[in-house]
């Protein structure tokens, strides 16, 4: 009986600790590894960040989402990290390296002018759908969906090529921890959403 009490005295706290860790990962946040260069210069390949599940998705939020079923080339259990440009009901266009949301030019201080010009291109939502074979020619982001772009536009596989991201595929809003990265890159990920 004494041995059983002693064993239970350390097993119960371990079980409780594991249950709390599981609940935090399931409902609060999860750790994510960035894979590839599509979010450079703000997030680097293999950088570890947190995805907060309860955070509200806003314009310019960086999100993690399940890409399987969104991008036709994405395999099961593949997550992408991208920046939200368009929310439901928004019009999104690009002209001469500038992105316009609802006809208003958005600040893109999170990437350089050369990055904007080299990779953004000139398009509307309807022209992207027609040239890349997705969607039905809609001119606004549909209800329950987001339009996302990578920060490194010339190498990013994003909404321009395969369409909108379903809201229910979003795993969380990315936050870069204070002990990693530099102040500017952290601000470009953590502090731009509006």
* CA gap 25, 87 in Å, rounded: 26
Q: Among the options 61, 82, 169, 175, which is catalytic?
A: 82
87-97 residue pLDDT tens:
999 999 999 88
Which residue would you say has higher pLDDT here, 131 or 15? Answer: 131
Q: Is 144 exposed, middle or buried (0-12, 13-18, 19+ CB in 10 A)?
A: exposed
Q: Which helix (H) or strand (E) holds 113?
A: helix 113-119
| CA-closest candidate to residue 36, choices 84, 81, 76 | 81
**15-19, 40-44, 158-162, 176-180: least confidently modelled range:** 15-19
**pLDDT score, position 14:** 66
Question: For this structure, is 5 an active site residue?
Answer: no
3-45 residue pLDDT tens:
667 766 677 666 665 655 555 555 556 888 888 999 999 999 9
**pLDDT score, position 15:** 67
* CA gap 164, 147 in Å, rounded: 5
**Whole-Å CA distances, 2 to 6, 11, 13, 69:** 6, 14, 18, 55
**pLDDT score, position 194:** 72
**pLDDT score, position 191:** 78
Percentage of residues of the chain with pLDDT beyond 90: 54
**pLDDT score, position 99:** 95
Whether 74 has a pLDDT exceeding 70, the answer reads yes
* CA gap 65, 172 in Å, rounded: 7
Question: Hey, which residues does 175 pair with through a beta bridge?
Answer: 50
Output DSSP code: residue 147. Answer: E
47-66 residue pLDDT tens:
988 898 888 999 999 999 99
* CA gap 33, 73 in Å, rounded: 20
Question: For this structure, is 38 an active site residue?
Answer: yes
Q: Which helix (H) or strand (E) holds 66?
A: strand 62-66
Question: Hey, which residues does 23 pair with through a beta bridge?
Answer: none
Q: Report yes or no: 171 and 146 within 8 Å, Cβ to Cβ.
A: no
Q: Give me the CATH topology for the region 2-177.
A: Umud Fragment, subunit A (2.10.109)
Average pLDDT over residues 170-193: 82
């Amino acid at each position: 009986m004494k041995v059983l009490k002693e064993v239970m005295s350390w097993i119960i706290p371990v079980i409780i600790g594991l249950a709390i860790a599981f609940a935090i990962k399931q409902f609060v946040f999860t750790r994510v590894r960035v894979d590839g260069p599509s979010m450079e210069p703000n997030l680097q390949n293999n950088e570890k960040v947190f995805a907060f599940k309860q955070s509200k998705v806003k314009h310019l939020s960086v999100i993690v989402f399940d890409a399987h079923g969104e991008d036709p080339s994405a395999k099961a259990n593949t997550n992408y990290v991208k920046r939200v440009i368009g929310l439901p009901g928004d019009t999104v266009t690009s002209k001469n390296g500038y992105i316009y949301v609802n006809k208003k030019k958005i600040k893109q201080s999170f990437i350089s002018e050369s990055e904007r010009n080299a990779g953004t291109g000139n398009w509307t939502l309807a022209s992207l759908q027609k040239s890349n074979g997705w969607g039905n020619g809609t001119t606004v982001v549909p209800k329950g969906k987001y339009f996302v772009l990578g920060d490194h536009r010339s190498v990013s596989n994003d909404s321009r090529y395969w369409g909108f991201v379903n809201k229910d595929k979003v795993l969380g809003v990315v936050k870069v921890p204070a002990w990693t990265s530099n102040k500017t890159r952290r601000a470009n990920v953590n502090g731009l959403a509006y």
